[in-house]
Structure 1
Amino acid sequence: MDSKGPSLYAAGTSVDVTRSIDEDSLVDGPLISADALHSAIRREFQTLPTPCHASLLSLLHIVYVVLSVCLGVLCVLKFGQEEVCMNILGNVRGESVIVFGKVGLWALVFLFTKCVQHHHSRARSRGYLRFYRQTQGLKTLPLSVYSTGNVLLLIVLAAPLARKVQVIMLLSVLGLELLVGLPCLIYYTVQVTRFNRERAAPDVSQEEHSHNYSITSLPTETGFREGSSLEEVVEKQADLIEYLKQHNTLLSKRLLNLTAQH
């Protein structure tokens, strides 16, 4: 009786020791290396396709203004091309064609703005709140510029002016709109292209990484701070939640890979 007791105790001890060693290996093993975690997050970076859309919209705007100037000068101001214009346009007035083209251009800008808002909202949900805030006014600026151009265009068309003066004013509005709207689209393209090229980690991941490797750095501001607005606090908390979801997903993948290896 006495001889079996120590053996059972030894066996139980060995099982406990083995179990504790396995648990320690799972806890203390290189499963959540910071560098590996950040590199895995970088591989999941999703670029924004909106720079291509902005470039195409800029090209269409330039083509529209050039064609409108040619149409206004040759067909409305009648610099020796009346027969050609009659064959192409028929009974349609040149001003009407310009206005219809302007409506189509504004519709494209509206669709572009909705597309930009959709992709930026997805980037925000992936934790890029800083980028979302930096481009919050920029992504709606082209629509504001083109809408203002529509208002000026309506004022010119409604004004009691001679036809030639009206066309000159109309083309001037289109040229001014091009000078203001095109730089906005180019600047937006540059900003988003830079963001896609950097392929940065989410904001919380960057703050955590800088806090881990910098002794003098301050803690990440995910909670309330004096002078912070409620909206900013909520956005940072949402960013933290999204980051933690990514963190847990990556940890689960690493645990599954480790289990499959053993």
Structure 2
Amino acid sequence: MDTNGPSHHRQARTSVDMTRSMEEESLLDGPLISADALHSAIRKEFRSIPTHVHAFLLTLVHVLYVVASVCVAVLCVLKFGQEEMCSRVFGNVPGESAIVLGKVGLWLLVLVFTWFVQHHHNRARRRGYLRFYRLMCRLKDLPFTIHSAGNVLVLINLVAGLSQAVRIYLLLTILGVELLVVLSCLLFYIVKVHRFNSERAAPDVSQEDRSHSYSVTSQPTETGFREGSSLEEVVEKQADLIEYLKQHNTLLSTRLLSLTAQH
């Protein structure tokens, strides 16, 4: 009994290995799915970011607000013969107060826009577009930061105890400089998002896989630590990559099953 035990286990192990090899050969004999087919299938899942449209609308609203503020300041505050029209439009509200209230309303619109942009950029990051997310991380918050700084300057201007004429000229100067800076940021943001939507690129991991498969001298991926990289940045990239790969594996398994059925 003792001499037959090891030989029995060896025979069972050999039969298991033969069965496994036969299963692997049967899988290899099946239809192979090319990398291009998988890439094209994943490419169809691209979802564009609609925030560039809202950025354009916000830019338009900002320009209209500044133009209206200049008209109100000239006609209602500096009083160039339009006092009756201003009283009909604003009632008992002074023209300067109307400009400030409009500034508060514009700031609230920028706040909502910033939240909306952050929501869509987070979705893009979860879909694997990590480089785009980090590229736009600071740019998307600049309009809100600039408007907040403008509110502080407007408040200082109101409590500085200056004459009404000097105060209104400083207010218009603040609004004009704010418009120029925010307009530059929003136009740059619109161009970047429009280019991202036009390229319809695959997620970062898929692009790196394709570059490594077609080029031997390709650069290493950015998921490891390299000279000049901060440890916090590397850890954040790895965390984003792990989160994306969890969702990507589910999508890839679904695509594999559908493409296998088609072949």
> Alpha carbons of 1:154 and 1:54: their partners in 2 closer, same or farther (altered >3 Å)?
same
Quote the offset at 1:229 in angstroms: 2.7
> Alpha carbons of 1:255 and 1:143: their partners in 2 closer, same or farther (altered >3 Å)?
same
Q: Report the counterpart of residue 147 of structure 1 in structure 2.
A: 148
TM-score (norm 2): 0.85
CA shift digits 1:187-244 (9 cap, x unpaired): 1111111111111111111111101100112443433444433333333334443246
> Alpha carbons of 1:34 and 1:85: their partners in 2 closer, same or farther (altered >3 Å)?
same
Structure 2, unaligned runs of 5 or more: 1-17
Q: Report the counterpart of residue 10 of structure 1 in structure 2.
A: none
Distance in 1, Cα, partners of 2:43 & 2:255: 15
Quote the offset at 1:27 in angstroms: 3.7
Give the stretch that moved more between structures: 30-39 or 93-102: 30-39
Residue 32 of structure 1 contacts residue 251 of structure 1 at CA under 8 Å; is this kept in 2? Answer: no
Distance in 1, Cα, partners of 2:122 & 2:173: 36
Distance in 2, Cα, partners of 1:109 & 1:28: 59
The answer to whether the aligner puts 1:234 opposite 2:226 as a matched pair is no
Residue 38 of structure 1 contacts residue 205 of structure 1 at CA under 8 Å; is this kept in 2? Answer: yes
Distance in 2, Cα, partners of 1:86 & 1:49: 41
- Letter of the 1:222 partner, please give it: T
Task: Supply the RMSD in Å over aligned alpha carbons.
Answer: 2.3
- Letter of the 1:83 partner, please give it: E
| 1:25-44 pair list within 5 angstroms | 25-27=26-28, 29-44=30-45
Distance in 1, Cα, partners of 2:188 & 2:219: 33
| 1:129-168 pair list within 5 angstroms | 129-168=130-169
Distance in 1, Cα, partners of 2:260 & 2:108: 53
Quote the offset at 1:35 in angstroms: 0.6
Residue 41 of structure 2 contacts residue 255 of structure 2 at CA under 8 Å; is this kept in 1? Answer: no
Quote the offset at 1:253 in angstroms: 3.4
% same residue: 64
Distance in 1, Cα, partners of 2:49 & 2:87: 45
Quote the offset at 1:67 in angstroms: 0.7
- Letter of the 1:46 partner, please give it: R
- Letter of the 1:186 partner, please give it: L
Quote the offset at 1:32 in angstroms: 3.9
Aligned residue-pair number: 245
TM-score (norm 1): 0.85
- Letter of the 2:248 partner, please give it: Q
Residue 31 of structure 1 contacts residue 251 of structure 1 at CA under 8 Å; is this kept in 2? Answer: no
Q: Report the counterpart of residue 92 of structure 2 in structure 1.
A: 91
The answer to whether the aligner puts 1:251 opposite 2:237 as a matched pair is no
Structure 1, unaligned runs of 5 or more: 1-15
Q: Report the counterpart of residue 11 of structure 2 in structure 1.
A: none
Residue 57 of structure 1 contacts residue 109 of structure 1 at CA under 8 Å; is this kept in 2? Answer: yes
Residue 149 of structure 1 contacts residue 174 of structure 1 at CA under 8 Å; is this kept in 2? Answer: yes
Residue 202 of structure 1 contacts residue 243 of structure 1 at CA under 8 Å; is this kept in 2? Answer: no
| 1:170-189 pair list within 5 angstroms | 170-189=171-190
Q: Report the counterpart of residue 13 of structure 1 in structure 2.
A: none
Distance in 2, Cα, partners of 1:86 & 1:244: 62
Quote the offset at 1:102 in angstroms: 0.1
Quote the offset at 1:256 in angstroms: 4.8
- Letter of the 1:124 partner, please give it: R
Distance in 2, Cα, partners of 1:257 & 1:43: 13
Distance in 1, Cα, partners of 2:256 & 2:26: 14
